[in-house]
Amino acid sequence: MKIEKLNENRIRFTFNHSDLQENHIDVHSFMANSIESQSLFLTMLDEAEREIGFVTDNYKLCIEAIALSNGTFIITVTRMEKETLKSTRVQARRKSNLTQNNLLIYQFSNFDDFCNFANFLTISLPNLVEQLSNSNSLYQYQNRFFLVLQDIDGSYTNVLSSAISEFAVCVESSELILNKIKECGKLVTEQAIHK
C-alpha cells in the first residue's frame, strides 16, 4: 500500500488485490463496505497519521474510491474544513461532461497540477493515456492551464472524470471557453498527454 499527501487536506491510498488478501478481505466484501473493510480503512487512516501526520479526528471526511481494471484500488480522502462544513451542502451525483462534439476542457490551477495528473495517468491508467494521446492540447490563459480533449471515446469518460477530479475542474460551456482560450491564450503544446 502506498500513501501520498496531495495537499494539507487530501491524501491518496493506492493498493492492490494482494494488499486485500494480506488483510483477509476479498474484493466483494471490500466494495460492500464490510466490517473487515471498515477496519482496514481505519488502519489505513492510523498509518497515514503516523507516516505523514494526516490527522482525521474531529473532521468530516470525503472519500472517493476508484477500482482500476488492473486490480489497483485508489482511495482519496479529503478532510473537510470546519468552516466549509457549515456552509456546504454535500450532494452526490454522476454527471456526464461530454458536449455534443465530445469536447471536454479541464482547468488546472497551475502547471504542477497538470504534470501531477499526467504522471498519475502514465503510472495508473496507461490505457487512458493511449486513448487521449491523439486528441488533446494544453493552453495557458490568465495564469491557468486548460487541457482540451476532443473526440474522447464515451466508455472512458467516467474513468477520466474520476481520475482528473483530484487535479482539475471541468469547465462548463466548453465551446465558448475553447474559442476564448484559442483567441486570447497561448498554446503550450499539442499532445500534452502522450505515450
The domain segmentation of the chain, as residue ranges, is: 2-87, 103-190
pLDDT recorded at residue 21: 77
Return averaged pLDDT per consecutive 10 residues of the chain, 195 residues in all. 88 82 68 68 86 87 76 83 52 42 82 89 78 81 88 71 83 75 88 76
Provide the pLDDT for residue 94: 39
DSSP secondary structure letter of residue 81: P
Round to whole Å and give the CA distance between 154 and 157: 5
Burial of 90 (0-12, 13-18, 19+ CB in 10 A): exposed
CATH code that applies to domain 103-190: 3.30.70.1950
Element (H, E) at 127: helix 126-132
